[in-house]
Amino acid sequence: MIINGKQIAEKVYVQLRNQISKLSPKPCLGAILVGYDQSSMRYIRQKQKWAEDLGITFELKQLPENIGETKLLELIQAWNSESHIDGYIIQLPLPKDIDAQNIINAISPEKDVDGFHPENQGKMLIGDPSGFVPCTPAGIMKIFESLEVNLEGKNIVIIGKSNIVGKPIMGLLVNAGATVTSCNSKTPSIRAYTSNADIIISAAGKPGLLKLDMIKIDSIIIDVGFTVVDDRIYGDADFDNINIAGPKITPVPGGVGALTVAMLMENTLKAYKKNRK
């Protein structure tokens, strides 16, 4: 069965649109894009489209590949004290000469609507709701909520240990009472774990990684993979074969990605409410 991320996101948008229509001035989301990475440009276009659709002002700063860390840090400081910017994101990945963690650490935690700053990651881990939860993990939790999945006691396998998906979703699921296993590219036999899992979250970025014979027939597959090959987008899962066989599965595109954008808009409204009291 296909889990329709767009449909779940649309329910979030109905509520956000209603709340934002009553606000004046409107919330403002900033985005910094360094360089011309195709996937990053695609993500930013989606974020801009949905922000504007909801009535959120979208301010894009597009910077050349060779901007350098010092100049980028100056721009971040400027946005930290710019009162009309409620929240902003720095689209990743950044060029190799820039230390991404240094950049993330410089974002004001109050404006960090991506939830990547260590203060927000820490709050999420201890279950303090005053911070921002990273958008893709928050979107995955929204899918579970929408499917009315009780996560307590579920056996959940995560493939991938990134700071923006693998690690934060692990924390959210532990807090929800699940039994969680974290696998990565060095795990000798991923199949040994996935074959017993009630839920599998794959964020490896490896098309074809997750096959039907590696999973239980009644499992739920959350595919966070997003790989562009010859202008076609692939997730990590062998979608067609798994979908026909019965497990619930998120498509790529139209699955988790739709929720990631919706959660960014939700975080922007939260930032507006926090920062413009």
Residue 93 or 177 having the CB closest to ligand GUN: 93
Residue of 114, 223, 236, 238 marked catalytic: 114
Residue 197 or 204 having the CB closest to ligand GUN: 204
CB 271 within 8 A of CB 86: yes
**Binder of ligand GUN out of 108, 120, 121, 136 (CB under 6 A):** 136
Q: What is the C-alpha separation between 206 and 19, in angstroms, rounded? A: 39
Span between the terminal Cα atoms of the chain, in Å: 44
Query: Which residue has the CB atom at the shortest distance from ligand GUN?
Result: 92
Helices and strands (H and E) in the chain: how many: 10, 10
Indicate if 47 belongs to the active site.
yes
Indicate if 91 belongs to the active site.
yes
Q: What is the C-alpha separation between 36 and 41, in angstroms, rounded? A: 7
What radius of gyration do the chain's Cα atoms show?
19
Indicate if 99 belongs to the active site.
no
Residue of 47, 123, 167, 248 marked catalytic: 47
How far apart are CB 89 and ligand GUN at their closest, in Å? 4
Amino acid at 263: M
Please report which helix (H) or strand (E) contains residue 193, including its range: helix 190-194
How far apart are CB 165 and ligand GUN at their closest, in Å? 8
Residue in the structure block whose two tokens are 């930032």: 271
Residue in the structure block whose two tokens are 């954008």: 261
Binding mask 77-116 for ligand GUN (x = CB under 6 A): ------------xxxx---------------------x--
How far apart are CB 219 and ligand GUN at their closest, in Å? 25
Catalytic residues: 47, 91, 114
Interface ranges with ligand GUN (CB under 6 A): 89-92, 114, 135-136, 164, 260
